[in-house]
């Protein structure tokens, strides 16, 4: 007997249990449900599969290397500096050609600074003085260039003056430049070489067009017509970012160059191409405090006696940040199944919503509620429709998950 029962149990394990449905011949709810089903299907096919490519395994981790190289020379003739030619080594900082580079477009030069005593700049509020008592010896000038010596230096007939300081003398003259010195930087070009690799798919590419035509890559300039040319004119980059080069050259700024790789590796590798976009990163939001972009650096020298002196340069210019990001996708069975499964699971939510309508909102909801829910009580053994009144069939259902 027991063996038979176990056999029955084993066999019943492979019976297929399917949910029993009640057909409600209500066209309104029926149409509603079909609409819900259709929406979910449309969402699944349209959004998840076509737009979001849900059948693909994606990789957003990108190995990227950026090499930049500028080209261009500018000639200036000012009373301060005389005739001078500026080449790449002079105006690009730092020189390494990494993904962030700065092009100097304007500068204030203070040559021959030495460690000495001199009057502080009159523009600094903390350095103004009437008597020597205003200049506490040893105290650093707030937002200034040096340490007070204790003396107040005045012009002959003036009652006000500025404190004498120990500093790199003479101190820098504070003025806002009116015209960009290296205005011709607008025509300089930058060659941007970007090599990327998606390690998950072992896929590599560069933004340099694979061509045998060497002269094309030497003479081309990036534009909407030449999308795969990696040489950009600085003036164009600034224009595309929505700014004016001459204005930026005067006070400086930061420009972002985004390179986006959005690669569908189910297609041919030649379809995977970079997309460039340009934007100004330093918003001109707060005009008040140090708008633009500038910094100071110095060239240090020693004279014949071994005494150090320096040329201080306040450099205004445009910093370019090359930012690379990307995503690659390739067909994979797991995300495909997951997405289909989740979509179907969503249908359950749709059915739940339609049930609410059927059972509580329509006129005959009372009737349908009675049909949908079959009441059973363990005490009342007289209910007719149950085909399983005998105790024997219990093992048959044991596998019923």
Contact 45, 348 (CB under 8 A): no
| Residue 227 in marked binding region | no
Residues 33 to 72: which contact its own copies by CB under 8 A?
A: 33-34, 37, 43, 47, 61, 63-65, 67, 69, 71-72
| Residue 285 in marked binding region | no
Q: How many residues can be counted in the chain?
A: 401
Residues 5 to 34: which contact its own copies by CB under 8 A?
A: 11-27, 29-34
Contact 196, 324 (CB under 8 A): yes
Nearer to its own copies, 6 or 13 (CB): 13
Nearer to its own copies, 224 or 288 (CB): 288
Residues 110 to 169: which contact its own copies by CB under 8 A?
A: 111-112, 115, 138, 140-141, 143-147, 166-168
Among 183, 200, 321, 336, binds its own copies (CB under 8 A): 321
Among 100, 109, 128, 183, binds its own copies (CB under 8 A): 100
Q: Residue 235: helix, strand or coil by DSSP? A: helix
Phi, psi of 232 (to 5 degrees): -120, 145
Element (H, E) at 76: strand 74-78
Q: How far is the CB of 399 from its own copies (least distance, A)?
A: 9
What are the b/e assignments for 230-247, b being 16+ CB within 10 Å? bbbbbbbbbebbebebee
Closest CA to 187 of 107, 327, 86: 86
Nearer to its own copies, 151 or 372 (CB): 372
DSSP codes of every residue in 239-275? HHTT--HHHHHHH-EEEEEEEEEEEETTS-GGG--EE
Among 9, 128, 183, 351, binds its own copies (CB under 8 A): 351
Q: How far is the CB of 178 from its own copies (least distance, A)?
A: 22
Residues 242 to 261: which contact its own copies by CB under 8 A?
A: 254, 256, 258
Contact 118, 127 (CB under 8 A): no
Answer yes or no whether residue 377 interacts with its own copies by CB under 8 A. Answer: yes
| Residue 295 in marked binding region | yes
| Residue 25 in marked binding region | no
Q: Which stretch binds its own copies (CB under 8 A): 155-163, 173-181, 264-272, 317-325?
A: 317-325
Cα dist. 281→48, 140, 194, 398 in Å?
A: 33, 34, 21, 67
Give the x/- contact pattern for its own copies in 269-298, rule: CB under 8 A.
Answer: ----------x-xxx-xx-xxx--x-xxxx
Answer yes or no whether residue 386 interacts with its own copies by CB under 8 A. Answer: yes
Q: Which stretch binds its own copies (CB under 8 A): 154-162, 234-242, 261-269, 370-378?
A: 370-378
Q: What is the DSSP letter of 208?
A: S
Q: Residue 343: helix, strand or coil by DSSP? A: helix
Among 9, 128, 183, 346, binds its own copies (CB under 8 A): 346
Residues 164 to 193: which contact its own copies by CB under 8 A?
A: 166-168, 184, 191, 193
Contact 201, 59 (CB under 8 A): yes
Answer yes or no whether residue 241 interacts with its own copies by CB under 8 A. Answer: no
| Residue 358 in marked binding region | no
Beta strand 147-154 pairing with 161-169:
antiparallel
DSSP E strand stretches across 147-269: 147-154, 161-169, 189-198, 203-206, 231-233, 253-264
Q: Residue 330: helix, strand or coil by DSSP? A: strand
Answer yes or no whether residue 3 interacts with its own copies by CB under 8 A. Answer: no
| Residue 189 in marked binding region | yes
Annotated binding site: 69-71, 189, 294-296, 314
Which residues are annotated as part of the binding site for ATP? Answer: 69-71, 189, 294-296, 314
């Amino acid at each position: 007997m027991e063996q038979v029962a176990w056999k029955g149990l084993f066999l019943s394990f492979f019976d297929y249990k399917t949910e029993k449905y009640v057909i409600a011949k209500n066209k309104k709810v029926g149409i509603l449900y079909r609409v819900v089903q259709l929406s979910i299907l449309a969402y699944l096919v349209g959004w998840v599969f076509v737009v979001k490519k849900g059948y693909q395994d994606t990789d957003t981790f990108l190995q990227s290397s950026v090499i930049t190289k500028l080209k261009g020379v500018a000639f200036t003739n000012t009373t301060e500096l005389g005739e001078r030619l500026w080449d790449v080594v002079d105006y690009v900082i730092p020189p390494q050609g990494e993904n962030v580079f700065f092009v100097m477009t304007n500068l204030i030069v203070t040559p021959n600074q030495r460690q000495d005593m001199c009057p502080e700049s009159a523009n600094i509020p903390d350095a103004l003085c009437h008597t020597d008592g205003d200049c506490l010896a040893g105290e650093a000038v707030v937002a200034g260039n040096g340490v007070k010596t204790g003396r107040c230096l005045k012009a002959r007939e003036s009652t006000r003056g500025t404190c004498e300081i120990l500093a790199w003398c003479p101190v820098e003259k504070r003025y806002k430049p009116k015209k960009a010195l290296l205005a011709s930087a607008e025509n300089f070009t930058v060659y941007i070489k970007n090599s990327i690799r998606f390690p998950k798919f072992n896929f590599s590419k560069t933004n340099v067009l694979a061509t045998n035509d060497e002269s094309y890559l030497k003479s081309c300039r990036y534009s909407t017509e030449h999308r795969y040319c990696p040489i950009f004119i600085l003036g164009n980059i600034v224009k595309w970012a929505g700014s004016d080069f001459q204005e930026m050259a005067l006070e400086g700024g930061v420009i972002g160059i985004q390179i986006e790789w959005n690669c569908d590796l189910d297609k041919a590798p030649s379809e995977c191409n970079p997309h460039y976009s340009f934007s100004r990163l330093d918003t001109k939001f707060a005009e008040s405090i140090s708008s633009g972009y500038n910094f100071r650096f110095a060239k240090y020298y020693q004279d014949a006696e071994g005494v150090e002196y320096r040329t201080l340069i306040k450099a205004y210019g445009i910093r370019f940040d090359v930012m690379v990001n990307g995503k690659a996708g390739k067909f994979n069975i797991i995300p495909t199944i997951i997405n289909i499964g989740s979509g179907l699971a969503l249908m359950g939510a749709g059915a739940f919503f339609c049930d609410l309508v059927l059972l509580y909102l329509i006129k005959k909801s009372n009737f349908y509620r009675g049909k949908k829910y079959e009441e059973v009580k363990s005490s009342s053994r007289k209910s007719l429709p149950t085909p399983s009144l005998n105790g024997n069939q219990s093992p048959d259902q044991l596998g019923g998950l």
